[in-house]
């Protein structure tokens, strides 16, 4: 084996296991993930569920970049999801901005907000970091609540329905659920490609090194704070994209999107699926949404059940559903 | 005499009211091995932390290659040419042995690049392999770092430091926690390194220090109480009183 091919295996495979198999899977992770997302509407009982798995899955993918790969537990990611959604909604509804420009604005706003919140929180460690991100995202929540002339306050933001998308002379009926799904999926696919690119890059190696051992990374010559801030901003950017897709899909932005329960949900989805695994966030989103649907049929206290399942996962299946499956397959 | 590679001037370091290092002045020439000894809590690791930017000195200054580097952020030190190992093994436990060293080498080529595929940076792979071979871990490159034996993990940490090709290598108790067999291998490694590098070494094992070092500094309660050749230090009455006397087993 030459130095370069063996190095690809050792770089891509990450933690132990049969590196050959995992390296092959890693090399194909983007096309395989896109294929799975293509099939989703045909595998799930409803289109509504498929769109939700897509959007929340993407949200968890963005979060996973920070939590799973950089090792930072943020409790404030609802802010970026919400910023993307609100800015897109306001841009379309109030200023009549074309949908694609509104999407870009939403993403830019979410990334900018992530940069600011990152700047304020990144120097704190551990539980303090989690608390600072939580507090700052609560600030965003109350700002949205107060600025009701812009955001609709508790009633949520309405009145920006996109019925038709004009793409390069084509006109797509955005009210057709299947067409809508595939339009949104194109953006999710682009984001997955970007995330995979980041993970394969030199920068991707640095964030994993920081997750593994911050002190050693610093001694090796990496500016840990600056690297974390970049990772935080990129993570916020992906979450903001999920937010704009959410707004385009629902044509409403409920205030709840900024609530700390949304931040908690993002953490749960990521952990259920498998923090630090590429496709895990989608599996986590599906598991969470299915649980919510099924359990809420027979009790209104579904959060207790979901919370219990979550705790069991943390205790007994820390790699999550997808992460455990991958590790199990790799060990055989 | 040549201009020293590193010099420290009246370095002190306080933790609250406690003085861990007080008025240490010394200069270190290139291509020499200097051992730093002293009883537990003497301030040896604190001295290394100051020399590697982990801690800023409370007073005093540090010059490296003629430049004042006092107050430089820690992550710059590797780029200046100062690399270290820690008293307690400090590696990337879940990464492969090879990736541990490769990512250390990468710091000098690409730190914020999110576009390139790192697999094409093959020269880093080769440098990592060379550093692993130098510490005798060539055969373990694809294993996960945390599964290495203790002595191998310590050698890996030295490979991580070596791949930076540092002009100054700081080694804080490289044989800590090792049995006699592992210690022998580490000593052989240190002898090879001593031939071509400037090394500061903290150690408790006197026999090993006497064999390896050109010069010995003795710290006691944060003060430098002796500085000289191994022969000189062995016969220094003050050193015998505070340190060597307690370590008859090693001496
Ligand atoms: N970060 C810190 N905060 C407070 N006190 C510290 C800190 N680091 C070291 N000390 C204290 O400074 C003194 C010197 O510690 P240091 O680790 O430098 O000793 P040492 O010579 O390396 O000892 P050993 O041989 O046990 O490794 C000790 O009393 C220690 O408790
Ligand atoms: Mg020490």
Let me know: does A233 contact A203? Beta carbons within 8 Å. Answer: no
* pLDDT of A14 higher than 50: no
Counting the structural domains of chain A, the total is 1
Distance B57 CA to ligand 1 centre (A): 14
Distance B45 CA to ligand 2 centre (A): 4
Which residues surround the ion ligand 2 when the cut-off is CB under 5 Å? B 44-45, 87
A18 part of a folded domain: no
pLDDT in tens, A65-74: 999 999 999 9
How far separated are the first and last CA of chain A, in Å rounded?
Answer: 23
Which of chain B's residues have a Cβ under 8 Å away from the Cβ of A202? Answer: 106, 109-111, 113-114, 116, 118, 121
Starting from the edge strand earliest in sequence, which strands make up the sheet with B6-15, in order? B18-28, B6-15, B59-64, B67-68
Q: Nearest-CA residue of chain A relative to B100?
A: A209
Q: What is the mean pLDDT of residues A89-95?
A: 97
Cα dihedral A201→A204→A205→A211 (10° resolution)? 180
Mutate to test the interface with A, among B119, B137, B164 (most CBs of A within 10 A): B119
pLDDT in tens, B149-185: 999 999 999 999 999 999 999 999 999 999 999 999 9
The set of protein residues with a Cβ atom below 6 angstroms from ligand 1 is: B 15, 18, 20, 38, 40-46, 87
A270 part of a folded domain: no
Quick one: which ligand is closest to B36's CA?
1
pLDDT in tens, A105-142: 999 999 999 999 999 999 999 999 999 999 999 999 99
Interface of A with B in 227-246 (CB under 8 A): 227, 230, 234
Nearest-CA residue for ligand 1 atom 11 is: B20
Question: Helices A3-13 and B97-106 sit at what angle, rounded to 10 degrees?
Answer: 100
- Give the list of residues 6+ apart from residue B73 with CB closer than 8 angstroms, or none: A223, B53
- C-beta atoms of A221 and B117 within 8 A: no
Q: What is the mean pLDDT of residues A91-114?
A: 97
A14 part of a folded domain: no
Compute the distance between CA of residue B32 and CA of residue B231 in angstroms, rounded to an integer: 16
Domains and CATH numbers, chain B: 1-81+167-251 (3.40.50.300), 96-165 (no CATH)
* pLDDT of B59 higher than 50: yes
A224 part of a folded domain: yes
Q: What is the mean pLDDT of residues B123-142?
A: 96
A197 part of a folded domain: yes
Least confident of A6-10, A91-95, A159-163, A168-172: A6-10
Distance B250 CA to ligand 2 centre (A): 17
Quote the domain boundaries for residue A139.
Answer: 45-258
A284 part of a folded domain: no
Q: Residue holding tokens 């919370």?
A: A307
A105 part of a folded domain: yes
Distance B153 CA to ligand 1 centre (A): 23
pTM equals 0.93
Q: Is B91 on the interface with A (CB under 8 A)?
A: yes
Backbone angles phi, psi at B114, to 5 degrees: -105, 5
Q: Nearest-CA residue of chain B relative to A229?
A: B112
A50 part of a folded domain: yes
Is A125 buried (19+), middle (13-18) or exposed (0-12) by CB count in 10 A?
exposed
């Amino acid at each position: 084996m030459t130095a370069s091919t063996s190095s690809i295996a050792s770089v891509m495979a990450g933690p132990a296991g049969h590196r050959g198999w995992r390296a092959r899977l890693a090399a194909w992770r983007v096309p395989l993930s896109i294929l799975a997302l293509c099939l989703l509407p045909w595998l799930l009982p409803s289109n509504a569920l498929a769109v939700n798995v897509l959007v929340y899955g993407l949200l968890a993918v963005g979060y996973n970049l920070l939590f799973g790969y950089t090792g930072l537990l943020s409790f404030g990611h609802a802010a970026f999801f919400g910023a993307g959604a609100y800015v897109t909604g306001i841009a379309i509804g109030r200023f009549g901005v074309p949908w694609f420009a509104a999407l870009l604005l939403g993403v830019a706003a979410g990334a900018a907000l992530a940069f600011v919140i990152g700047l304020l929180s990144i120097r704190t460690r551990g539980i303090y970091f989690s608390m600072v991100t939580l507090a700052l995202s609560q600030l965003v929540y109350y700002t949205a609540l107060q600025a009701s002339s812009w955001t609709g306050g508790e009633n949520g933001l309405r009145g920006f329905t996109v019925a038709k998308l004009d793409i390069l002379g084509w006109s797509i009926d955005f009210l057709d659920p299947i067409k809508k799904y595939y339009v949104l999926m194109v953006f999710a696919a682009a984001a997955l490609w970007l995330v995979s690119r980041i993970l394969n890059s030199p920068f991707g190696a640095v964030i994993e090194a920081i997750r593994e051992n911050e002190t050693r990374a610093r001694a090796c010559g990496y500016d840990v704070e600056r690297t974390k801030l970049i990772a935080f901003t990129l993570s916020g950017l992906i979450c903001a994209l999920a937010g704009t897709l959410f707004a385009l899909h629902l044509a409403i932005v409920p205030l709840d999107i900024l609530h700390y329960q949304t931040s908690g949900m993002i953490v749960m989805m990521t952990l259920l699926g498998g923090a630090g695994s590429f496709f895990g966030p989608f599996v986590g989103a599906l598991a969470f949404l299915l649980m919510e649907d099924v359990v809420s049929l027979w009790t209104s206290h579904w959060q207790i059940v979901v919370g219990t399942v979550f705790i069991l996962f943390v205790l007994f299946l820390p790699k999550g559903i997808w992460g455990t499956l991958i590790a199990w397959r790799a060990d055989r | 005499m040549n201009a020293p590679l590193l010099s420290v001037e009246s370095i002190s370091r306080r933790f609250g009211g406690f003085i861990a290092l007080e008025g240490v002045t010394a200069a270190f020439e290139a291509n020499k091995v200097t051992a730093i000894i002293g009883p537990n809590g003497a301030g040896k690791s604190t001295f290394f932390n100051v020399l590697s930017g982990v801690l800023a000195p409370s007073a005093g200054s540090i010059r490296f290659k003629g430049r004042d580097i006092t107050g430089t952020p820690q992550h710059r030190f590797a780029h200046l040419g100062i690399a270290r190992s820690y008293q307690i093994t400090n590696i990337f436990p879940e990464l492969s042995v090879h990736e541990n060293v490769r990512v250390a080498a990468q710091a000098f080529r690409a730190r914020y690049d999110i576009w390139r595929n790192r697999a094409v940076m093959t020269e880093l792979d080769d440098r990592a392999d060379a550093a692993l071979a130098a510490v005798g871990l060539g055969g373990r490159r694809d294993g996960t770092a945390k599964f290495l034996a203790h002595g191998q993990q310590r050698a890996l940490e030295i490979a991580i430091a070596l791949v930076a090709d540092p002009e100054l290598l700081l080694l804080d108790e490289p044989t800590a926690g090792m049995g006699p067999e592992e210690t022998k291998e580490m000593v052989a490694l240190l002898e090879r390194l001593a031939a071509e590098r400037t090394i500061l070494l903290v150690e408790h094992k006197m026999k090993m220090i006497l064999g390896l070092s050109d010069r010995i500094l003795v710290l006691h309660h944060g003060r430098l109480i002796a500085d000289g050749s191994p022969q000189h230090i062995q016969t220094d009455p003050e050193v015998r009183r505070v340190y060597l006397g307690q370590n008859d087993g090693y001496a």
